[in-house]
């Protein structure tokens, strides 16, 4: 009996940090670090390998509600860490629930600024709810590599 109790306590103690972590949102610093890590990976491994790894759910470019997305300056999704069905689609005309053309704006900001934060609303892959999102992006050649946080 004591052995079962000890096992239950140990299991609960080990599971508690995982449960707490699963509910935590990524931070701005984590988003920036992941974008930089993604860019370094694309540069070192090439676009094909880089985009494939970014698009792998649960891979090295996915953490809780944080994942990377790569948009070409033409609006076509090159890689997507949360929804592989978006890869190859031109989303230049996509708008958020408030009517903001966030992909068009993202492409324009990538071309004009290179590095930026962008606010819009999007579905959180963890909660499945539309939430305010802040996306950090850096230009890499003719693409924008982005990772965002939910507020």
Q: pLDDT above 90 covers what percent of the chain?
A: 77
Q: Which long-range contacts (CB under 8 A, 24 or more apart) does 43-52 make?
A: 43/140, 47/78, 50/79, 51/78, 51/79, 51/87, 52/79
For residue 2, is pLDDT > 70? no
pLDDT tens, position by position, 99-145: 999 999 999 999 999 999 999 999 988 899 999 999 999 999 999 99
pTM, two decimals, is 0.83
Domains of the chain (ranges plus CATH)? 27-150 (3.30.450.20)
pLDDT tens, position by position, 41-68: 999 999 999 999 999 988 999 999 999 9
């Amino acid at each position: 009996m004591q052995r079962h109790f000890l096992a239950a306590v140990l299991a609960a103690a080990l599971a508690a940090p995982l449960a707490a972590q699963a509910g935590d949102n990524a931070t701005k610093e984590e988003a920036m670090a992941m974008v930089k890590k993604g860019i370094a990976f694309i540069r070192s491994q090439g676009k094909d390998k880089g985009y494939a790894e970014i698009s792998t759910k649960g891979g090295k470019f996915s953490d809780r509600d944080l994942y990377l997305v790569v948009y070409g300056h033409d609006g076509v999704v090159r890689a997507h860490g949360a929804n592989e069905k978006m890869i190859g689609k031109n989303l230049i005309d996509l708008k958020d629930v408030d009517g903001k053309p966030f992909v068009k704006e993202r492409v324009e900001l990538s071309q004009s600024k290179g590095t930026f934060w962008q606010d819009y609303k999007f579905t959180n892959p963890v909660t499945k709810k539309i939430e305010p999102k802040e996306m950090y992006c850096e230009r890499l050649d003719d693409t924008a590599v982005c990772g965002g946080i939910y507020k």
